[in-house]
Amino acid sequence: MWQAQYVNHIQPTRLRVTRIDFYLIADVDAAAKLRFACRVAYRAAVSGNKVHILTSTEEQSIELDGLMWSYPPEMFLPHAIMNNESDSPVPVLINWKEPIPGRDDVLINLGETVPDFFGRFERVTEIVSANEKDAGRLRYKYYRDRGYPLFHHELDNWEEK
């Protein structure tokens, strides 16, 4: 009898499926991609999300960290390069490695491939510059073939907004 009562109290759990947003920017330079990542991170963080920006290299992490101190000029976003040993209270962490668990709201992927751990995030942002379309298509196909909800945004003159 106690088993029947226990079963009646089990609530169904909702499965969360990661949303993938692809932003195709008309720019071809790597700096534009980093600037756009700053803007996406700012919007996500002010909405109350914890953001992890995955870069390709340690050098790119350092470059993005420096850029975030001054771009966009009218906004400041608390951020840090992630220390794998502990979490940080800042809303945006930057790293070229897998993030620590618990910061699973938004992943901004600046890498060239789909990271193995992307599925634990609620949202993934893929930024594709005009000269990276082939690599972007491969990532898009990877997510599509696995059934993830995909959203495509083509942006021109995004810095003027």
pLDDT at 137: 93
Is 125 inside a domain boundary? yes
Mean pLDDT for all residues in the chain: 84
**Residue with structure tokens 């909800």?**
149
For the stretch 18-38, pLDDT in tens is 999 999 998 778 888 999 999
pTM of this structure: 0.85
pLDDT at 82: 80
Residue 31: CB atoms within 10 A of its CB come to 12
Cβ atoms 54, 115 nearer than 8 A? yes
Is 149 inside a domain boundary? yes
Residues of the domain holding 50: 17-157
Please name the residues in contact with 46: beta carbons below 8 A apart, sequence gap of 6 or more. none
Mean pLDDT is lowest, of 7-16, 36-45, 60-69, 139-148, for 7-16
Is 137 inside a domain boundary? yes
As given in the structure block, the two tokens for residue 56 are 């390709």
Is 24 inside a domain boundary? yes
| Of 36 and 159, more confident | 36
For residue 141, pLDDT beyond 70: yes
Is 6 inside a domain boundary? no
Q: What is the CATH number of the domain that holds 128?
A: 3.40.50.10110
For the stretch 62-106, pLDDT in tens is 999 999 888 777 777 888 888 655 567 888 999 998 887 877 899
For residue 145, pLDDT beyond 70: yes
d(CA 109, CA 118): 9
Look at the chain and report how many structural domains it folds into: 1
